[in-house]
Amino acid sequence: MGKVTRKALVGLIFLLVIIVIWALVQRSGPSSVSTGLSQTEVLIYLATRDGTSLVPVKRTISPEQASPQGLIEELLKGPRPDEPWVLPLPAGTRMHSVAVVDGVAYVDFSAEMIEFHPGGTTGELLTVYAVVNTLAQLPEVEQVQIFVGGRELETLMGHLDLRTPLEPDFSLVLEEH
């Protein structure tokens, strides 16, 4: 089997696995971070304007939205107009899918995640750990692996190995804001 054919086969198998995982997650229903009568408080991680740190930002969402998909959707909304923070993910980035299997959240983003990323070591770390830290607050998520366009990445911008799932890292998070 040639290299191109082998890569295509591996890509197809990966895509099928993601679809099956997505279907299983959809069937099992949403999980929640905390339960309340009508609202749930969660954190999303946005970046400081100078691009040096992450900031935990509280959001109040419905319990149904307190799921891996709901948290990523909330993160992708970015800051509210009255907030001094910025979205650490590139503009136009969309989530294709997210599924949790055995404590690992597998998140697949659109190509904009790479195409429009400004680069830099800190920028890459802020992007990746905004996603990882946001998802890791869910009790069923211990690690996160990021994919783009259904493909496993060696790295996003050349600085952080994304071939294996990552645990949360709060070393870039500002405690006081």
Report yes or no on 175 lying in a domain.
no
Please say if the pLDDT value at position 35 is more than 50: no
Report yes or no on 159 lying in a domain.
no
Looking at per-residue pLDDT, the higher value among 153 and 22 belongs to: 153
Report yes or no on 173 lying in a domain.
no
Residues 19-32 have a mean pLDDT of 48
Number of domains in the chain: 1
Q: Read off the pTM.
A: 0.80
Report yes or no on 67 lying in a domain.
yes
Please say if the pLDDT value at position 31 is more than 60: no
Which residue is it, tokens 């971070």? 33
**pLDDT 10s digits, 80-139:** 999 999 999 999 999 999 999 999 999 999 999 999 999 999 999 999 999 999 999 999
Query: So what's the pLDDT on residue 175?
Result: 80
Report yes or no on 157 lying in a domain.
no
**pLDDT 10s digits, 146-177:** 999 999 999 999 999 999 999 999 999 998 65
Q: Which of 4-8, 33-37, 138-142 has the lowest mean pLDDT?
A: 33-37
Query: So what's the pLDDT on residue 59?
Result: 97
CA end-to-end distance (rounded Å), the chain: 55
User: Which backbone phi and psi does 87 adopt, to 5 degrees?
Assistant: -75, 125
Report yes or no on 99 lying in a domain.
yes
CB 126 within 8 A of CB 51: yes
Report yes or no on 111 lying in a domain.
yes
Report yes or no on 158 lying in a domain.
no
Looking at per-residue pLDDT, the higher value among 4 and 38 belongs to: 38
3-state secondary structure the chain: CCHHHHHHHHHHHHHHHHHHHHHHHHHHCCCCCCCCCCCEEEEEEEECCCCCCEEEEEEEECHHHCCHHHHHHHHHHCCCCCCCCECCCCCCCCEEEEEEECCEEEEEECCHHHHCCCCCHHHHHHHHHHHHHHHCCCCCCCEEEEEECCEECCECCCCCECCCCECCCCCCECCCC
Range of the domain at 98: 3-152
